[in-house]
Amino acid sequence: MPDHMHGLFEAMREDADFLKFAAMFKQRSTYEFKKATGRRLWQEGFYDRVLRDDESTLSVAAYITQNPVRAGLCKDPREYPFLGSSRYSIDELVDAIAWRP
């Protein structure tokens, strides 16, 4: 999205620290962006939400994956260059979302 970012992150260890992760992510991405463009990247703060046990991760992934389509930036999420996962291919994400009950 041109003016915001959605992320779905899964803690892989009991001692995972989301606030530390978010701060480090913003610091590293800001450094690279400012080096390349000379401009600021992030506004102060962020909105986070923890999924409850009864909430579907796939429904959140579906929302994120379809966001650029709803915004008219592409017709198929596979076309959006800033969509991806370190665990799944874009085809696996789209297939899982299409399959969801």
How many angstroms separate the most distant Cα atoms in the chain? 46
Tell me, what's the pLDDT at 91? 87
pLDDT tens for 13-63 read 999 998 899 889 989 999 999 999 999 888 877 788 888 877 788 888 888
> So what's the pLDDT on residue 48?
81
For 19-56, b/e burial (b = at least 16 CB within 10 A) is eeeeeeeeeeeeeeeeeeeeeeeeeeeeeeeeeeeeee
Q: Is the pTM of this model over 0.85?
A: no
Q: What does the pLDDT read at residue 100?
A: 56
At 101, the pLDDT band (50, 70, 90 cuts) reads low
